[in-house]
Structure 1
Amino acid sequence: MKGTSTVADGTPPAPPSPAPVSSRGRAGGRPASRRIREWFTAVAFTVPALVLFGLLVLAPIMYAAYVSFFDWGGFGSPEDFTGTGNYSRLLDDPVFLGDLWRGLLLVLFSVALQLPFALAMAVLLTQKLRGRAIYRMLFFAPYVLSEVITGVLFGMIFAPDVGLADKSFGAVGLDGLGGLWLADQDSVLATLFLVMTWKYFGFHMMLYLAGLQNIPAELHEAARIDGAGSWQRFRHITLPLLGPTVRISVFLSVIGAIQLFDLVWVTTAGGPDHASETMAVTLFQYGFKRFEVGYASALSIALFLISLVFALAYQRFVMRRDTEGALTNMRANR
């Protein structure tokens, strides 16, 4: 029969002292003071960025949206309220509708031609080639040049009769292939796309190179041992694992084509007869050449909405799996 234990002198033992109450809170077992310091640090670093974002991004967008409801020339304060008149004018403007069509063509050309070419060069430069580091540098170098320098350079190259392009064709007896590269409505958009490809494909090539280097070599070795050919390894191993990089590259290429301005303005200024004009060039023309700031603001809002809708839809339907995978990895690494 068990009884209460006693000490040597017969008195019962003292009850055990209660365990000390931890000062740690529920959020991860961190002290309250530490949580306060972390919140203060987060706010101290976040608020300045939010203020700058509001002043430099949100405020101009809101002001442009406000001005777009006025027939305003840019001087004084907007007073001639037109409601949705500027937006109705957009839908009837053949230049703006042509900008949409030309922008769509540039997007399709970029996705269907420029990006596959960049991917092919990236795959080639992952092979064991002599001097491949030099090739990488040479192909990436055009991206480092500014759009202004590129536009001036190719304006000289494609100058009629005296440019390097016409001189080169003439030297090999192909005079008929030369001509008005940037002055012909039928050829200016294709010529402009060649300039875009020369300028930007190196950037996408470097993206693909970075993605290719993250693919384990053991997978290709195992597939090679199993008898898979080069095309089979590329289709079933390289391309699926390179999917996130390809999706990012497509997104950047489409947004860049939609908002293209500098290169077009310096090379052709949108001519001849609007044949190479983009939405950004039209916006500049109306806002800073014709001083129709109200209509230019409506153009800017349209350009903003097109970019925003595409970005949200692309994020929702194309990059959703990549985002969910990144969040899963972050939770697993905590």
Structure 2
Amino acid sequence: MSAVETDPRAADAARGSTPTLSKAARARRRRGRLEVIGFTGPALLVFVLFVFVPIGYAVVLSLFNGTPTSPIRDFVGFQNFTEIFTTGRGETLGQPWFWHAVRNNFLIAVMSLLIQGPIAIGVALLLNRKMRFRGFFRLMIFVPYVLSEVITGVIFSLMLSPQGAVNDWLTRLGFEQFANFQWLMDTSAAPADAGMFAILGSRTFWAVFAILTWKYVGLAIILFLAGLSGVPEELNEAAAIDGATWWQTQRKITIPLLGPTIRIWAFLSLIGSFQLFDMVWILTGQQPGRTGMHTMATFMVDQGMNRNRVGYGSAIAIVLFVITLIVALLYQRFILSRDIGKES
């Protein structure tokens, strides 16, 4: 009797069952691919339509000198980008107002990290302790973030107007110098030849930044509270047994373990600072240039829509995209890499 007749597996192979198994494996693999395409396809389609297509269209518009009604006309090549970076006369580095807008974005980003971060960490550490009405305090701190930017801007623009509630309260308290005080229309930093850091002496800048802090610090506090919930309580108890004070425990144990959450919040804060538009636009009465408070986004809209320079506004949008992308990549490479791994 041959080996094929005595061995069932050999007999199955001789009868051709192996191709049948291969077909089943290929069918399972095909179904797996179809499942991946079915789940990721719609998301990729939406991403392409609402991210890559607008970016590509903005690149095309930046090569023309069009208007909102005729955006693609009068091909000018890279002239719009040239206008951003040089005037051709050697007087300034392109449009001074654009570089003032870039300065404002970076100043708001840095001030957010230096001021909002410590405030949020301190409040989160306090709210992480056992106390009465802790849930209520957490809710009230998060409420400003839930409000839309438009509602927040309108509320504070009314309160800080010359005849607004803030000036009225201060006047009633005896501070007569605040009668008809201009909180949001300080024009000292508006001229194109104003110093690069003249904006730091503008009360409009600090009023806007205070409102931004009130609006967004609640998100930072909630993120830090979520991070604190992951810190093992046993570490705090062991530190207390060893004689560490509450502050020493927070400084040596809690805050270092909160590092990944702090780095994620800082990344979100940086990107949000570069995208800042609606709050500044509303608080300055849709005229941020009068106070030197342009951001890159408000300058883009002002040039592209209000001044009918769609090509130049699109060029500003491309520059804004490139700056944001470079900052995001550098941050991920040198800061977030310790949390997400260098492979990603």
Same fold (TM over 0.5): yes
- Counterpart of 1:75 in structure 2 is 69
Deviates more, 1:181-190 or 1:141-150: 181-190
The 8 Å contact of residues 280 and 288 in structure 2, kept in 1 or not, is answered as no
Cα displacement (A) at 1:272: 5.8
| Residues 50-92 of structure 1: per-residue CA shift (max 9 Å, x gap) | 1221111101101101111111113336232222211111121
Partner of 2:250: 234
What RMSD over aligned residues (CA atoms) do the two structures have, in Å? 2.3
Match of 1:102 in 2: 104
Q: 2:283 aligns with which of 267, 272, 290?
A: 267
Question: TM-score, with normalisation over the residues of structure 1?
Answer: 0.86
In 2, the alpha carbon distance for the partners of 1:198 and 1:316 equals: 31
Task: Percent identity, please.
Answer: 41
Q: Calculate the TM-score normalised by the size of structure 2.
A: 0.84
CA distance change for structure 1 residues 149 and 294 in 2, over 3 Å: closer, same or farther?
same
Alignment of 1:135-284 (within 5 A): 135-160=137-162, 162-176=163-177, 179-185=181-187, 186-268=202-284, 269-271=286-288, 273-284=290-301
The structure-2 alpha-carbon separation of the partners of 1:325 and 1:217, relative to structure 1 and needing over 3 Å to count, comes to: farther
Asked whether the equivalents of residues 333 and 342 of structure 2 are also in contact (C-alpha less than 8 Å), the reply is no
What is aligned with 2:44?
Answer: 50
Query: 1:324 and 1:43 mapped to 2: Cα distance?
Result: 27
1:39 aligned to which of 33, 38, 48:
33
User: CA–CA distance in 2 between the matches of 1:121 and 1:270?
Assistant: 35
Q: Which residue of 2 aligns with 1:332?
A: none
For the structure 1 residues 137 and 214, does the alpha-carbon distance in structure 2 shift closer, same or farther, using more than 3 Å as the test? same
Aligned counterpart in structure 1 of residue 307 of structure 2, from 263, 285, 290: 290
Larger radius of gyration: 1
Matched residues, number? 308
Unmatched 5+ stretches in structure 1 = 1-13, 24-29, 328-334
Aligned to 1:112: 114
When you count helix as a share of all residues, which structure comes out higher?
2
**8 Å CA contact 1:166, 1:175 repeated in 2:** no
1:88 partner SS = helix
Alpha-carbon distance in 1 for matches of 2:291, 2:95: 12
DSSP-derived class of the 1:140 partner: helix
Q: Which runs of 5+ in 2 are unaligned?
A: 19-23, 86-93, 188-201
What letter matches 2:306 in structure 1?
Answer: K
Residue 325 (structure 2) pairs with residue 303 (structure 1): no
The offset of 1:18, in angstroms, is 3.8
